[in-house]
Amino acid sequence: MKATIWHNPRCSKSREALAILQEAPGLDVEIVEYLKTPPARAEIAAWYKRAGMTARQGLRTAEPGAKALAGASDDAILDAMAAEPILIERPLVSTDKGVRLGRPPEKVREIL
């Protein structure tokens, strides 16, 4: 099975989720450093849909740019995430079984 992780190597939760993936037997892990290779708006929306999340639930509220999105629609949040990928909460992991936000990192086990 293949897993794709939107990863930020500076984030401890992202590193922990990646370690879980790398320890899973027979798992082919694709690492996407989403700050260097930002996903398109449509891809962000598709991943959230598969995760059963709204864009607001996937917003990294600790980032300064998130404050301006306090009353924004999900469409506006997706636009902002595509323009500033630092606003995407990480790590996000996708497999054939679904998408999970790895907070806490152990949540990625649900789709392995």
Q: Annotated catalytic sites, by residue?
A: 11
Q: What are phi and psi of 58, to 5 degrees?
A: -95, 5
Going through 1-112 in order, the beta strands assigned E by DSSP cover 2-7, 28-33, 92-95, 98-101
With both helix axes pointing from N to C terminus, report the angle between 41-51 and 74-83 in degrees, rounded to the nearest 10: 130
Q: What are phi and psi of 23, to 5 degrees?
A: -85, -15
Q: Which positions ≥6 away from 45 have C-beta within 8 Å? A: 55, 78
